[in-house]
Structure 1
Amino acid sequence: MAGDDDRRFPLHPDMMVLVDARRPTPPGQSVQAQRDSWNAYAARLAQPHPDTLDVTDTSVPGMERDVPVRIYRPKTPAAVTPCMIYLHGGGYMLGDLDSSDSIAWGFAVETGATVISVDYRLTPEHPWPAGFNDCWSVLVWAAEQGAAIGIDPDRLVIGGDSAGGRFAASLSQKAKIEGGPKIRAQAVIYANAGPIPNAGSMVDFATGFGLTAARTTEFGELLFPDGPWLDDPVAFPVLADDLTGLPPTLVHMAEYDPIRDAGRAYAAKLALAGNDVTVRTARGMIHGFMRARFTGAQAAAEHKFICDFLASHMV
């Protein structure tokens, strides 16, 4: 997979299941073909949710449309549960409730919380801020209306992987600016809060480790087709002038990932602004490592670290 980098950057054995699940991507695929390929890749790594959960597909009112969601709730919960808003990855262009199902239900099982997975709008059909607005709508709904389904609005956390992690950082920034909803904690998982120039990881891991640097750039260009909103602290939290007053944050990176250093930059800026920041690097692992938790003990441990962090802020 990594060619000449095999000796410089030896992959953790747990990552081989991700390598084996990938298929060559022909150039020039349509957007729908790329989505179909991504969903097939996710399906090869998926496991069905356990019967300890009630799982419901529904929608919640949004700013511009009703937003599809999938709600995972323990079958024998307390009368009221904490809640996690989960935002899937896929470069803002790929992914849906099914491709992210195994990740979403894993958070519900490990934390005991109700998890709301958001089927936000995708690029290129819907550039910024459409998908983010869907995520914001679900967060506001959970805070204002979630009690009707047994959610404690005072125990809300958010988290996302890859593109979803970027949206999580943006949600926290907007909630601070708007004065709510109150977010107990955020998990930014193999993600960034906006790219940074001259990142060494974009060179070292440009190819051969799943996500490529070129693909990362392409995803960003589709999100901001008219140019990045660099002056918008919600669109680019890593560049915000004011990063104070954000919720406790886990920035959890894959060691061999082109966007690793952008994640590090966000964590450093949060810490310098006086926030409570936990930083963890999954050693020898690549973008998407949570999908390996069913077969890899260390990948499972990385996933559990995220769940334990979130659970500790929902008590």
Structure 2
Amino acid sequence: MDPHIKAMIDEQAAAAAAQPMPPLDALPPEMIRAGYRMQRQAQNQNAPKDVEARDLEVAGAEGPIPARLYTPAGAGPVTPGLVYFHGGGFAIGDLETHDGHCRRMAAYAGCRVLAVDYRLAPEHPFPAGHDDALAATKWAFDHAAEIGFDPTRIAVGGCSAGGNLAASVSIDLKNDPARRLAFQLLLYPGIWPDEETQSRKDLDGPVLTKAAIAWFDKCLAAAGHPQAHRANLGSKAEVAGTPPALVVTAGYDPLKDEGRDYAARLNAAGVKAEHVEYPNLVHDFYIMGDVSPAVEAAARETAAKLKAALG
């Protein structure tokens, strides 16, 4: 494991041993969100400052939802665009937790990034977040001229649960001739496969624990829903015809096997998909920019691939 990341994890483990936290079910969701926001913001203070960030509203499935448009320094009136969905198990995370990461993607890829603050479970159970992600992506196409997106070079992306949303939107839009996605950026995506992968069985943390995954599943409440296939992107997901993809996984992440397998399924279906694994890193690493130089290096490599894909 990256030594800087390991030092952070050891420090957190010592703090947790000294003052144990109650189970997630015993805490109100807003308290969990506030703690996550505080932690991740503190770990990502040194992202590029010369990126313009403008808060706005975009269409959600049941009304306007918040979003943030990132424009890199020196950008022309029109650039490629990335519609981005934050991670957090569909229950936590927001525009602030992933602000530094979005700034890096905008600055290093030279594209505008539209970060979407979709509705969260459990207050808004499945498929609210998926519906918002789809509506917001359609909005980005339909308002491309207003936000400086080149409508022929729009990608969708996300990390963890946000990667699930991005993959799901890619499937939803694959037959929409007016809204042709150019790329999907799936960063340690949660695929929710048919069967428990070996990495989910073997790894209980760091960062993403079995208890957290179970709590996220309970909050989302997708199991048994008629549209559960939009979140459970297992072998029955109709991935043929979706845009080219970059799938990034981390070596110390319970989700690594499903990300790897999803990239393989995309390729088997005729979708050009590249899989990159960072064997020394952990889940959520993109939003730990101040913890290790390895995060900055990975962000630059990922953004370079995004830039090349969008031309």
Tell me, in whole angstroms, the C-alpha distance in 2 between the residues paired with 1:131 and 1:230: 12
Tell me, in whole angstroms, the C-alpha distance in 2 between the residues paired with 1:213 and 1:69: 30
Q: Are the counterparts in 1 of residues 112 and 149 from structure 2 also a CA contact under 8 Å? A: yes
Specify the alignment match of 1:92 in structure 2. 90
Residue 165 of structure 1: SS of its match in structure 2? helix
Specify the alignment match of 2:171 in structure 1. 173
Task: For 1:26-105, list aligned pairs within 5 A.
Answer: 26-27=22-23, 28-47=26-45, 50-105=48-103
Q: Are the counterparts in 1 of residues 59 and 139 from structure 2 also a CA contact under 8 Å? A: yes
Task: For 1:252-263, list aligned pairs within 5 A.
Answer: 252-263=248-259
Deviation above 3 Å: which 4+ runs of structure 1? 20-25, 48-51, 177-180, 228-231, 292-295
Mind listing any 5+ residue stretches in structure 2 that lack a counterpart? none
Change (3 A) 1:108 1:259: same
Task: For 1:212-223, list aligned pairs within 5 A.
Answer: 212-223=209-220
Specify the alignment match of 1:12 in structure 2. 2
Specify the alignment match of 1:132 in structure 2. 130
Please report how far the alpha carbon of residue 34 of structure 1 lies from its aligned counterpart in structure 2 after TM superposition.
0.8
Cα deviations by residue, 1:13-41 (Å, 9 ceiling, x for unpaired): 13136424676333222211111111111
Residue 197 of structure 1: SS of its match in structure 2? coil
Q: Are the counterparts in 1 of residues 91 and 122 from structure 2 also a CA contact under 8 Å? A: yes
Specify the alignment match of 2:278 in structure 1. 282
Higher mean C-alpha deviation, range 283-292 or range 103-112? 283-292
Please report how far the alpha carbon of residue 226 of structure 1 lies from its aligned counterpart in structure 2 after TM superposition.
5.2
Specify the alignment match of 2:294 in structure 1. 298
Change (3 A) 1:92 1:75: same
Give yes or no for the alignment of 1:308 onto 2:304. yes
Change (3 A) 1:285 1:74: closer
Cα deviations by residue, 1:191-210 (Å, 9 ceiling, x for unpaired): 1322341311112212x411
AA of the residue aligned to 2:42 = R
Task: For 1:180-219, list aligned pairs within 5 A.
Answer: 181-206=179-204, 208-219=205-216
Q: Are the counterparts in 2 of residues 82 and 113 from structure 1 also a CA contact under 8 Å? A: yes
Tell me, in whole angstroms, the C-alpha distance in 2 between the residues paired with 1:54 and 1:205: 39
Residue 156 of structure 2: SS of its match in structure 1? strand
> Taking every aligned residue pair, what percent have the same amino acid on both sides?
32
Cα deviations by residue, 1:209-244 (Å, 9 ceiling, x for unpaired): 110123213212321255355763x33333335321
TM-score (norm 2): 0.90
Q: Are the counterparts in 2 of residues 14 and 299 from structure 1 also a CA contact under 8 Å? A: no
Match of 1:267 among 263, 266, 287: 263
Q: Are the counterparts in 2 of residues 170 and 236 from structure 1 also a CA contact under 8 Å? A: no
Mind listing any 5+ residue stretches in structure 1 that lack a counterpart? 1-10
Please report how far the alpha carbon of residue 252 of structure 1 lies from its aligned counterpart in structure 2 after TM superposition.
0.5
Residue 239 of structure 1: SS of its match in structure 2? coil
Matched pairs, number: 303
Tell me, in whole angstroms, the C-alpha distance in 1 between the residues paired with 2:238 and 2:296: 35
Residue 93 of structure 2: SS of its match in structure 1? coil
Change (3 A) 1:66 1:236: same
Change (3 A) 1:225 1:235: closer
Tell me, in whole angstroms, the C-alpha distance in 2 between the residues paired with 1:156 and 1:75: 19
Change (3 A) 1:248 1:14: farther
Change (3 A) 1:227 1:46: same
Give yes or no for the alignment of 1:235 onto 2:231. yes
Please report how far the alpha carbon of residue 152 of structure 1 lies from its aligned counterpart in structure 2 after TM superposition.
0.9
RMSD: 2.0
Change (3 A) 1:50 1:202: closer
TM-score (norm 1): 0.89
Change (3 A) 1:221 1:284: same
AA of the residue aligned to 1:257 = D
Please report how far the alpha carbon of residue 182 of structure 1 lies from its aligned counterpart in structure 2 after TM superposition.
1.1
Change (3 A) 1:104 1:65: same
Tell me, in whole angstroms, the C-alpha distance in 2 between the residues paired with 1:175 and 1:220: 25
Specify the alignment match of 1:3 in structure 2. none
Cα deviations by residue, 1:153-206 (Å, 9 ceiling, x for unpaired): 111011111110110100101011444521111111111322341311112212
Change (3 A) 1:57 1:221: same
Specify the alignment match of 1:112 in structure 2. 110
Tell me, in whole angstroms, the C-alpha distance in 2 between the residues paired with 1:52 and 1:284: 30
Tell me, in whole angstroms, the C-alpha distance in 1 between the residues paired with 2:236 and 2:187: 20
